[in-house]
Structure 1
Amino acid sequence: MDIRGAVDAAVPTNIIAAKAAEVRANKVNWQSYLQGQMISGEDCEFIKKFEAARAEDKQRILDNEGHQCARTFLNLMAHISKEQTVQYILTMIDDMLQENHQRVNIFFDYAKKTKNTAWSYFLPMLNRQDLFTVHMAARIIAKLAAWGRELMEGSDLNYYFNWIKTQLSSQSSQYVQCVAGCLQLMLRINEYRFAWVEADGVNCIIAVITNKCGFQLQYQMIFSFWLLAFSPQLCEYLRRLNIVPALSDILQESVKEKVTRIILATFRNLLEKSAERETHQEYALAMIQCKVLKQLENLEQQKYDDEDIADDIKFLLEKLGESVQDLSSFDEYSSELKSGRLEWSPVHKSEKFWRENAARLNEKNYELLKILTRLLEVSDDPQVLAVAAHDIGEYVRHYPRGKRVIEQLGGKQLVMNHMHHEDQQVRYNALLAVQKLMVHNWEYLGKQLQSEQPPTVTTRS
């Protein structure tokens, strides 16, 4: 999928477009504003001329009187308080920019002469009460920032991105898709992608898509991931935030082709744009762990109008197939652990696996052990807790200094906390792990435990 054509097409217009059509139909009596001395004769004359001009004449007017155009629009915005008229002015500006992206330079030229930034005139409007006014201003800001010759930066960019995050987090506004559209437009610019990540924007997107939002907003948020993944350095960052499980869940449930398409395109970007081989491999393992291969095989059987989908499916099947062949039992274990979705897969109960790999849990400053102890602390899934407790016990049993390491990481207390868990499977595995932490004679322990009947273990499909 091509980034240039896709971004503009993805900005939804439904609710805001319907309201804009209504606003355009209510023509403003500029003469009455002139008579009331609320606007100047010069501004009145220009706005009437511009409003009446045909499309081809508008460009000629803007070529000759660009400075006057910007000044008139901004003067009218500043001096008229009637909300309906402000809505009309903003709609005219938005239409003008949408017709020709180069027209943003009219505002950049004017701002330069007045020692301002092009968006400084519109940012204060995000605090207005009227929702249409606020979101039309937000659209104009995004267009100026994305299409202009200067980048928005510093406090202005922070302010705008924080506003977007607040709007997306609340999701209560009927204009939330418009906000998502503004973000999509911004993230086509590489510098803004990094700024969005700096502003903790990725966690905001994850929160939206895991909160059962509608399919259109879901599509727009995943589209934002797709854009972020065009930057190789951000692929490395996104890896740490575990986005593959969230996207694979949506892929499994998706009934909308556009949502399926954008998830596949995102997966492809994550694999294709990753600069580091290790990052590429971790993404592939995460996709395998989340059963994306099986989903791809099912999708391959279907017919699609969009050639990109078939192409992405073929690419992903090929790359994940290669990774499966290279997959060691430790890779499989590591990937499962990082996904946070522990199951009773064969590797956990394999004596050979623990004998050969227990010491490897110490690698990268105990990265995997820290994940295990963290899961014991934050997970509310009984199966995850039971498997995590079991694995800590096996680590201690097979690594000579394991007890000391687990105590230093706070794992011993966390395991003990689950000895009275309401779930029988969790209680049993926590008890077993604590005994391994306490007892030295494993053969004796084994005989003692034979009398205890473990609960039936269920596995996820």
Structure 2
Amino acid sequence: MDRAELTTEQVLKRDIPWEHYMSTKLISGTCLQLLRRYDHKPESQRAPLLEEVLLYFDYSARPKLRNGTLPNGDASNSKSKLTSTHDVLRGLVNWLCSQLRNPTHPSCSIPTSIHCLSTSLREPYVRTLFVQADGIKLLIPLISPAATQQSIQLLYETCLCIWLLSFYDAAVDYLSTTRVMPRLVEVVKGSTKEKVVRVAVLSFCNLLAKGAFAAQMIDLGLPQIVQNLKAQAWTDEDLLDALNQLEVGLKENLKKLSSFDKYKQQVLLGHLDWSPMHKDPSFWRENINNFEENDFQILRVLMTIIDTSSDTTALAVACYDLSQFLQYHPSGRIVVADLKAKDRVMKLMNHENTEVQKNALLCVQRLFLGAKYASFLRA
């Protein structure tokens, strides 16, 4: 029978050669499994699922709304269509987040969910839904250097999600409260896969001009890491361009950022470590008056770290910095006493970590005895 003579019913009854499509790489093995699972479902389940998928395609392909109307054609029923499409997208995002929280399949749920998100987050509305669903924190643990091919693909698609989210201000604000930057830095230091390094570097480029990210990148040693990356034999032109762009941006920020700006960002982010400025006498002499800004905001944050942090390095540095303020500020003891710091710091004198104990003791000595006598005892 000539193909032109086939009836609609005959066409619908024909089996689609999905295996052939997979062998020619038109679809992946995962797609084939999903399609065959769909084929084996009863019609009562297939129809609603197909309707949801078609609505999703319709949303992606449809021209974007402007001023509440469609650019072409009649706008009737657009509101109901948009509502139903938004409901579908919300359901999809919530389901993907639930799979990341509690995977139903030990090895497939997370990679499949991240793969879907790396595509879906291209849509601005999906980014909004993902932030509302508190999904960003689910991505952060997945950002770590990978070894196997499967884990490399998962890392790449997770970093791709971060890059897509870096275009959305609400997502950027949330990212600034996470450990995303140190994790991305570890990825570019430890990865040899060009596509992984590329998408991480592109994320750096997007975040560089936003909030405190520039100071974080500098504190984490990213300028030197970029130099090391540029010395490698990459073949990806986009990666090379991104590295050049990031290098220029970091140099500009280094010129603008004073040592106190870097210190302030470190404290406000709660990411304290033994960077050189903490033990540099000239830093404290030159910047001690800056600690008076915003009603001694920096000291108040240091006290919050002392009260709440479980990071022993952060606790030790916070105690040390408080003792440095006591030493260099003419009214240091009065200011620190007003913050009711004595009892809060004294608790750390019994801490299990010796570094925390030592710096808590120094702080208490300077609070009770004054900087001159405390330094004499310490010597």
Q: Same fold (TM over 0.5)?
A: yes
The one-character-per-residue Cα deviations of 1:307-364 (angstroms, maximum 9, x if unpaired) are: 1100000001111112223332212322433454433333112233223323423435
Counterpart contact for 2:291–2:299, Cα < 8 Å: yes
- Paired residue for 1:249, among 174, 183, 186? 186
Q: How far apart, CA to CA, are the structure 2 residues paired with 1:420 and 1:175?
A: 45
Q: Does 1:219 align with 2:153?
A: no
Q: Post-superposition shift, 1:226? A: 0.8
Greater mean alpha carbon deviation, residues 327-336 or residues 338-347? 338-347
Q: 1:203 to 1:151 in 2, by over 3 A?
A: farther
SS at match of 1:418: helix
What corresponds to 1:269 in structure 2? 206
SS at match of 2:208: helix
Q: Does 1:417 align with 2:351?
A: no
What corresponds to 1:193 in structure 2? 127
What corresponds to 2:216 in structure 1? 286
Structure-2-length-normalised TM-score:
0.73
Q: How far apart, CA to CA, are the structure 1 residues paired with 2:122 and 2:287?
A: 43
Q: Does 1:331 align with 2:345?
A: no
Q: 1:330 to 1:95 in 2, by over 3 A?
A: same
Counterpart contact for 2:118–2:161, Cα < 8 Å: yes
**One-letter identity of the residue aligned with 1:372:** L
Counterpart contact for 1:15–1:175, Cα < 8 Å: no
Counterpart contact for 1:242–1:339, Cα < 8 Å: no
- Paired residue for 2:360, among 396, 412, 430? 430
Q: 1:361 to 1:424 in 2, by over 3 A?
A: same
What corresponds to 1:180 in structure 2? 114
Counterpart contact for 1:169–1:208, Cα < 8 Å: no
Q: Post-superposition shift, 1:381? A: 4.2
The one-character-per-residue Cα deviations of 1:136-184 (angstroms, maximum 9, x if unpaired) are: xxxxxxxxxxxxx668547x65554332222112353513222112223
Q: How far apart, CA to CA, are the structure 1 residues paired with 2:191 and 2:135?
A: 24
SS at match of 1:331: helix
- Paired residue for 2:377, among 439, 445, 448? 448
- Paired residue for 1:321, among 251, 259, 277? 251
Q: How does 1:6-405 map to 2 (within 5 A)?
A: 16-20=30-34, 22-23=36-37, 77-78=43-44, 86=46, 102=61, 152-153=85-86, 159-171=91-103, 172-209=106-143, 214-232=151-169, 234-271=171-208, 274=210, 279=211, 282-338=212-268, 340-364=270-294, 366-400=296-330, 402-403=332-333
Q: Post-superposition shift, 1:205? A: 1.8
Q: 1:237 to 1:379 in 2, by over 3 A?
A: closer
Counterpart contact for 2:272–2:318, Cα < 8 Å: yes
The one-character-per-residue Cα deviations of 1:398-440 (angstroms, maximum 9, x if unpaired) are: 335545654666644442222122333221111001112222x
What percent identity do the matched residue pairs reach? 30
Q: Provide the aligned length of Structure 1 versus Structure 2.
A: 337
Counterpart contact for 2:144–2:186, Cα < 8 Å: no
**One-letter identity of the residue aligned with 1:446:** S
What corresponds to 1:41 in structure 2? none
Structure-1-length-normalised TM-score:
0.62
**One-letter identity of the residue aligned with 2:154:** L
Q: 1:235 to 1:408 in 2, by over 3 A?
A: farther
Q: How far apart, CA to CA, are the structure 1 residues paired with 2:59 and 2:310?
A: 53
Counterpart contact for 2:285–2:328, Cα < 8 Å: yes
Unaligned runs of 5+ in 1: 1-12, 29-72, 81-85, 104-111, 119-148, 451-461
What corresponds to 1:35 in structure 2? none
Counterpart contact for 1:20–1:91, Cα < 8 Å: no
Greater mean alpha carbon deviation, residues 366-375 or residues 313-322? 366-375
Q: How far apart, CA to CA, are the structure 1 residues paired with 2:242 and 2:114?
A: 25
Q: 1:446 to 1:14 in 2, by over 3 A?
A: same
Counterpart contact for 2:260–2:287, Cα < 8 Å: yes
The one-character-per-residue Cα deviations of 1:372-398 (angstroms, maximum 9, x if unpaired) are: 334334444433322221001112333
Q: Post-superposition shift, 1:251? A: 1.9
The one-character-per-residue Cα deviations of 1:77-124 (angstroms, maximum 9, x if unpaired) are: 43x6xxxxx5x9968996998899659xxxxxxxx9999977xxxxxx
SS at match of 1:344: coil
Counterpart contact for 1:373–1:411, Cα < 8 Å: yes
The two structures, once aligned, show a CA RMSD in angstroms of 4.0
Q: Post-superposition shift, 1:259? A: 1.4
